[in-house]
Structure formats: structure tokens, C-alpha cells
Amino acid sequence: MKPIRFAPPYNDDAIVTWLDGEMESEDARQFEQCLRGDTQLSARTAELMKSHQDYKSAFASWLNDAPLARMQARLEQHLAEHPEPRASVSRRALIAASLSFLVLGSGLGYLVRPASEKQDENEQIRDLEAQYMSLYSAETLVDVDSGAALLQKGLTRTMQDLGLQLNEQQLMLPGAELKMVRILRYERTSIAQIAWLHNDYGPMALCISATEQGKTTPVQAEKRYNMNIAWWNRRGHQFVLIGRNPASQLQETAQALLRMIG
């Protein structure tokens, strides 16, 4: 059967096809390019995303807890640099546009490159991961199904996509509940996201991606989007631990994970 092709302007069938990961790769790249610059398309995609899968509980808190002032400032700066006639932007559309770098399909997330980036590839990935995690609240993870079968499914995908053999015991951390293991996409890069809900500091995640540099680096500290980060490179992978935990505690946790998983 000849595959169905899509081109702008996109209707709901095209959006759903992209969310399902069934759009032809060339069409998907064009769709993602439009998604970055089209507020109406990103807003409609966000709406269909919520109805298409049971992500309501995961995203509901974002509408209340999202940093609207920062989002508004960024949006206004973009519009000032690219002036064009526009209608008033609703609160939901503003959030949807600001979240257009992340759209979740059927069990698979897509991290979309911001319009302008000057960092190297690995730094870009850390920046996107930190921005994504800055939108998490405790409510984002509290109702996530963290059953053994789903965790194992995520671990299996991590092995398939990244070649990392991990088990649930390696991911047990004091004072934190393991909630989720899944694969995200950044363009053609697979990112394993391992998420915990910390008793005192809320969501915390370890994001793992392959790096072409292949070098080994010690645990290093950063702060992005008011999130503390501890990251290191080892055996061809970048490991990025992100949370609202104090920097010193996050460093200790990173060292513990380094000993357990590499």
C-alpha cells in the first residue's frame, strides 16, 4: 500500500499520524519545522495530544504551574524580532507554543530543536532536558503507572536504543520512588529518561544519550532554568541528572548512580 503523504496546511489527521509516529520521515521533518514556528499548529497538537492519549494528569499541572512570565517574555521577544500581524494569544496557546519543543506520541516523546542554538550537540541536549524538567511538578508524576511491567518495558527500550543494560535494582535511590523509564527523541537521537519522585524535592530525572565524542568526564555541575544539574560522560554516553534537590545532594546522587550504572 502506498503510504499517505502530508504537507502544510496540516489537518487533524496529519497531526494524529505524527503523534502515532507513522508519518513518513521527510514529511515528519517538515511537520516539526512548521511546529516550531506555527503557534496555532502547536496549540492544536497539544490539544490532540491530550485527547489522543491519557496524558491529562501528567500535563494538567503545567497549565497552573508553568512559568508564564518567562514564557511571555520569550514569546514577546520572538515576536519583536519577527513582527507580523497576530491575534491575541490565549493562556493555553502560549503554554502550547512554549512547549512546542516537546510533543509526546504513543509512548514516545519528541524533543524538537529550538529555533536558534549555539551550543554543541551535547549541551543542546542538556539544555532541552533541563527546560523540559523545569515544567514538572510533583503532580506530573504522582499518578504515573510505575508498575514493574512498564518499568521493564522502558528498560528494554533503553537496551535496544542505547545499548545500556540496566535493571530496576540499579535505579533504587534513598528517599525517592522510581516512577518512569521511557525513551524520548531529539531529532535522531534517542534519550532514555529515568524519572523519580523525591520525597522532599519532587521530580528528579536521569537522562541518558549517546555521544559521538566518546570521552570520559567526571561529574560536573550546572544550573539551567532554575534546575540543578549533575552530568558526566562515560563509555560513549552522556548522563544528565536534573532536579530541584540542593546541588550538593544532587552531586552525591550522581556519584552513587555513576558507581551503580557507569
Give the model's pLDDT for residue 81. Answer: 59
Q: Kindly report whether the global pTM for this prediction surpasses the value 0.95.
A: no
pLDDT at 137: 87
Place of cell 511537520: 31
pLDDT in single tens digits along all 262 residues of the chain: 466 788 888 888 888 888 777 788 888 888 888 887 787 887 788 777 755 444 444 444 444 445 555 555 655 665 565 554 444 444 444 444 444 444 443 344 545 444 444 457 889 899 989 988 888 888 888 888 889 999 999 999 999 999 999 999 999 999 999 999 998 887 778 899 999 999 999 999 999 999 876 788 999 999 998 999 999 999 899 999 999 999 999 999 999 999 998 6
Phi/psi of residue 224, each to 5°? -140, 135
CB 209 within 8 A of CB 186: yes
Which grid coordinates are listed for 221? 555541575
Fold of 138-261: Phosphorylase Kinase; domain 1 (3.30.200)
Q: What is the pLDDT of residue 82?
A: 53
SS (H, E, C) 29-85: HHHHHHHHHCHHHHHHHHHHHHHHCCCHHHHHHHHHHCCHHHHHHHHHHHHHHCCCC
Domain-wise residue ranges, the chain? 12-111, 138-261
3-state secondary structure of 18: helix
The residues near 72 (Cβ < 8 Å, ≥ 6 apart) are 94
Q: Are 78 and 150 in contact (CB under 8 A)?
A: no
